């Protein structure tokens, strides 16, 4: 009989009548039994299959003692850092330590180690040498090959080497974990390793049919080799046509990656979401302030997985893949009714979504037969003629969901892909979205307007966004709604020059937008953009890419996007002068900033009061250089943190949902 939660203490294990758990599941975040959290899903899937699993969440990691809490498990350990890579969780894009962790009790930072998967595995090896250890989740999945690590600023080996785990499970793991646990239970027969989909393992000799990638030594020494390896990893991330890959990690060992697992069928997904989740954080955290990350998703519904949007800066493609799978209407309505029956439900479903809220089916039929195209994206630079763009099923679902007694409003807060929406000739979804599923504003993510940057980002052209803005405004006018669009923008993405940032600032001036938040590009593991950042090459065409890396230039690019903020004026003036755009300095309608900082007389030093007119360029530069440190700090504070920034960076938000229109 399933308990309300999986056991978290030896006493609870004993109460269940177990002499020992089959597996101890070590997780780098608080235990939240909600289907938006990967550890909850994996725990429930294993429980339903008859495995006895004990949860060891956020264990004290400085010694092996905590890992002996349940004694020696019968079969092994499972390890995940949680829904976010631990380094992304701990550090901002400016590599500054974050002071909160919404995935920990009370939002307390510092309970999980940096590089959590490796640290946890090392403690397990100390506690129980030789015990099978299976690693999975975002951190393991995105670091499965040799990869550029932004925090070390070097190419690191596969996390499977560092962790010395038995197997690495990549991608969405419900079927994979069952196959692997069964494999462990049957004594780990070596000859069956090659049959485990979604798995990486180490071997002295790779299988004869494995496609060799450039070795670790090669990708660490040669950026062109790095690009070649990355492109193959990226292209072979397909369950239909993906091949076995191998990469030599050191003198004696190869990493072998079996082809990806197939996405769960609709019936399989329904079964997963029907498991008996309590949808609560474990009560042991009540006195500690609960788990903040749960609040965002407590009344949200995960409807879809996978994404054929393929934004270059998003790691989803490399984790969930391009083939979209979704739950049935009945399953989603069942969950909505269940949420409506909960005592603390206030009538609002906060989100019905996933990586991209308006995807509900695979991009095309061919994708299912032959796999997603290797050298073509479904939406960029223009929508593929084979793509089926229809929101009919989603519209039907939303109509039924908002009619459920007790539900006042169903929000869509996951990102929508507006180029997909534009490819649908029917206005039905946009109309219903504006009328019923947003409140005052819709967040979308054009990210930039410069063609060169957009093509590197894998985002649609500016004209597509502008056409969407017109269509959105027309629908709102038609229904007498005063609702706005909030565009999300990214600074310093590979390809973005200072002139591109000036163009974007002019666009913001012309459209009257004042972004409150700007995301600096963050080179997280497993993305195409990170490959460009590291190599200064686009692996798709091997063309050189301009990459802003200098912190001062990055500060200028970010300041341009928030040029109205007086704190940014020195940086903006400096950027405009460097670009030869002094015409944008002044008081006219086209100017971005005034010629000098205008402060109250009482704020000026006696020396400043004696200075007449504009400072020389040299003096300005010297002032702005001095002011950059505090400016960068201020801008750093504006950076999104926690789940939202995590969504940007690899979707490490709970269950891969990307938030706030970021897709």
Q: Which residues contact ligand SF4 by CB under 6 A?
A: 363-364, 366-367, 372-373, 376, 378, 384, 386-387
CB 331 within 8 A of CB 273: yes
- Of the two residues 390 and 641, which places its CB atom closer to ligand SF4 in the complex? 390
- Of the two residues 376 and 549, which places its CB atom closer to ligand SF4 in the complex? 376
45 to each of 19, 275, 657, how far by Cα in Å?
Answer: 21, 8, 20
Which DSSP helix (H) or strand (E) runs through 554? Answer: helix 551-561
Terminal alpha carbon distance of the chain: 41
Cα angle: 32, vertex 38, 42; to 5 degrees: 95
CB 262 within 8 A of CB 197: yes
Q: At what angle do helices 617-638 and 551-561 cross, to 10 degrees?
A: 80
- Of the two residues 323 and 453, which places its CB atom closer to ligand SF4 in the complex? 323
CB of 382 to ligand SF4, least distance (A): 11
CB of 364 to ligand SF4, least distance (A): 3
- Of the two residues 299 and 359, which places its CB atom closer to ligand SF4 in the complex? 359
Question: Are β-strands 199-203 and 254-257 bridged in parallel, bridged antiparallel, or unpaired?
Answer: antiparallel
How far apart, in whole angstroms, are the C-alpha atoms of residue 407 and residue 349? Answer: 7
CB of 381 to ligand SF4, least distance (A): 11
Query: 593 forms bridges with which residues in the sheet?
Result: 585
CB of 367 to ligand SF4, least distance (A): 4
CB of 198 to ligand SF4, least distance (A): 21
- Of the two residues 124 and 384, which places its CB atom closer to ligand SF4 in the complex? 384
617 to each of 87, 322, 562, 576, how far by Cα in Å?
Answer: 40, 50, 22, 11
CB 417 within 8 A of CB 397: no
- Of the two residues 390 and 497, which places its CB atom closer to ligand SF4 in the complex? 390
- Of the two residues 286 and 365, which places its CB atom closer to ligand SF4 in the complex? 365
- Of the two residues 154 and 374, which places its CB atom closer to ligand SF4 in the complex? 374
Q: Which residues contact 288 (CB under 8 A, 6 or more apart)?
A: 105, 106, 108
CB of 490 to ligand SF4, least distance (A): 24
CB of 371 to ligand SF4, least distance (A): 8
How far apart, in whole angstroms, are the C-alpha atoms of residue 167 and residue 189? Answer: 13
Nearest to 45 by CA among 142, 132, 172, 133: 172
- Of the two residues 366 and 552, which places its CB atom closer to ligand SF4 in the complex? 366
- Of the two residues 116 and 364, which places its CB atom closer to ligand SF4 in the complex? 364
- Of the two residues 173 and 371, which places its CB atom closer to ligand SF4 in the complex? 371
CB of 390 to ligand SF4, least distance (A): 13
CB of 423 to ligand SF4, least distance (A): 11
261 to each of 35, 172, 309, 585, 658, how far by Cα in Å?
Answer: 20, 8, 20, 56, 22
CB of 227 to ligand SF4, least distance (A): 22
- Of the two residues 388 and 399, which places its CB atom closer to ligand SF4 in the complex? 388
Per the document, the length of the chain is: 663
CB of 243 to ligand SF4, least distance (A): 18
CB of 363 to ligand SF4, least distance (A): 4
Nearest to 201 by CA among 236, 170, 173, 231: 170
- Of the two residues 377 and 524, which places its CB atom closer to ligand SF4 in the complex? 377
171 to each of 143, 332, 443, 614, how far by Cα in Å?
Answer: 12, 23, 28, 57
For tokens 């397909």, the residue is 238
- Of the two residues 372 and 585, which places its CB atom closer to ligand SF4 in the complex? 372
How far apart, in whole angstroms, are the C-alpha atoms of residue 434 and residue 478? Answer: 11
Q: For residues 80, 81, 83 and 87, what is the CA-based torsion angle, rounded to 10 degrees?
A: -150
Which residue sits closest to ligand SF4, CB atoms considered?
Answer: 384
- Of the two residues 26 and 379, which places its CB atom closer to ligand SF4 in the complex? 379
CB of 241 to ligand SF4, least distance (A): 11
How far apart, in whole angstroms, are the C-alpha atoms of residue 546 and residue 219? Answer: 20
For tokens 């985002």, the residue is 459
- Of the two residues 84 and 363, which places its CB atom closer to ligand SF4 in the complex? 363
| Tokens read off for 80 | 């995940």
- Of the two residues 392 and 611, which places its CB atom closer to ligand SF4 in the complex? 392
Q: For residues 338, 262, 530 and 81, what is the CA-based torsion angle, rounded to 10 degrees?
A: 50
Q: Is 655 exposed, middle or buried (0-12, 13-18, 19+ CB in 10 A)?
A: buried
CB 451 within 8 A of CB 461: yes
Q: What is the 3-state secondary structure (H, E, C) of 290-352?
A: CCHHHHHHCCEEECEECCCCCCCCCCHHHHCCCCCEECCHHHHHHHHHHHHCCCCCCCEECEE
CB 350 within 8 A of CB 302: no
Query: 13 forms bridges with which residues in the sheet?
Result: none
Which DSSP helix (H) or strand (E) runs through 212? Answer: strand 211-212
């Amino acid at each position: 009989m399933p308990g309300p939660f999986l056991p978290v203490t030896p006493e609870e294990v004993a109460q269940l009548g177990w002499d020992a758990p089959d597996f101890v599941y070590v997780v780098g975040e608080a235990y939240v039994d909600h289907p938006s959290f990967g550890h909850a899903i994996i725990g429930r899937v294993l429980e339903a299959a008859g495995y006895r699993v004990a949860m060891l969440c956020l264990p004290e990691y400085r010694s092996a003692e905590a890992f002996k809490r349940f004694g020696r498990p019968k079969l092994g350990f499972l390890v995940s850092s949680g829904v976010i890579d631990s380094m992304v969780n701990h550090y901002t894009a400016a590599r500054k330590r974050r002071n909160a962790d919404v995935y920990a009790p009370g939002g307390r930072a510092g309970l999980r180690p940096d590089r959590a998967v490796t640290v946890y595995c090392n403690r397990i090896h100390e506690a129980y040498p030789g015990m099978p250890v299976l690693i999975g989740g975002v951190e393991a999945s995105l670091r499965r090959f040799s990869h550029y690590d932004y925090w070390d600023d070097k190419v690191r080996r596969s996390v499977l080497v560092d962790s010395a785990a038995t197997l690495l499970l990549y991608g969405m793991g419900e079927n994979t974990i069952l196959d692997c646990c069964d494999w462990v239970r049957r004594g780990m027969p070596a000859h069956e390793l090659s049959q485990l989909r979604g798995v990486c393992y180490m071997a002295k000799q790779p299988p004869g049919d494995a496609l060799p990638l450039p070795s670790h030594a090669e990708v660490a020494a040669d950026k062109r080799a790095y690009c070649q390896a990355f492109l193959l990893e990226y292209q072979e991330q397909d369950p239909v046509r993906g091949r076995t890959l191998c990469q030599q990690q050191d003198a004696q060992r190869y990493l072998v990656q079996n082809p990806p697992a197939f996405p769960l069928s609709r019936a399989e997904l329904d079964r997963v979401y029907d498991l008996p989740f309590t949808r609560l954080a474990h009560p042991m955290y009540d006195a500690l302030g609960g788990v903040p990350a749960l609040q965002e998703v407590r009344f949200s519904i995960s409807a879809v997985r996978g994404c054929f949007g393929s934004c270059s800066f998003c790691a989803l493609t490399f984790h969930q893949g391009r083939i979209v799978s979704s739950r049935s209407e009945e399953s989603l309505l069942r969950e909505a009714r269940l949420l409506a029956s909960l005592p603390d439900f206030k009538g609002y479903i906060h989100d019905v979504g996933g990586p991209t809220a308006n995807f509900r089916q695979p991009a095309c039929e061919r994708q299912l037969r032959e796999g997603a195209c290797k050298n073509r994206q479904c939406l960029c630079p223009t929508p593929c003629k084979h793509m089926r763009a229809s929101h009919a099923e989603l519209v039907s679902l939303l109509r039924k969901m908002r009619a459920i007694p007790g539900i006042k409003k169903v929000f869509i807060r996951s990102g929508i892909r507006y180029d997909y929406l534009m490819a649908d000739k029917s206005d039905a979804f946009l109309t219903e979205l504006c009328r019923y599923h947003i409140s005052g504003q819709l967040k979308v993510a054009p990210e930039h307007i410069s063609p060169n940057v957009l093509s590197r980002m894998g985002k649609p052209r500016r004209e597509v966004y502008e056409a969407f803005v017109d269509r959105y405004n027309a629908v709102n006018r038609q229904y007498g709604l005063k609702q706005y669009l909030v565009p999300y923008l990214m600074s310093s993405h590979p390809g973005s020059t200072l002139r591109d940032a000036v163009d974007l600032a002019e666009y913001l001036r012309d459209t009257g937008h004042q972004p409150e938040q700007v995301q600096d590009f963050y080179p997280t593991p497993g993305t195409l953009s990170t490959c460009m950042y590291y190599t200064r090459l686009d692996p798709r065409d091997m063309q050189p890419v301009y990459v802003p890396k200098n912190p001062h230039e990055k500060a200028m690019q970010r300041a341009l996007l928030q040029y109205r903020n007086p704190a940014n004026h020195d940086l903006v003036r400096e950027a405009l002068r460097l670009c030869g755009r002094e015409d944008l300095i002044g008081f006219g309608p086209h100017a971005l900033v005034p010629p000098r900082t205008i402060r109250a007389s009482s704020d000026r030093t006696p020396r400043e009061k004696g200075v007449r007119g504009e400072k020389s360029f040299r003096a300005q530069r010297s002032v702005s250089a001095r002011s950059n440190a505090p400016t960068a700090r201020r801008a750093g504070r504006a950076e999104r943190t926690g789940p939202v920034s995590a969504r940007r960076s690899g979707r490490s938000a709970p269950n891969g949902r990307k938030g706030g229109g970021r897709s």
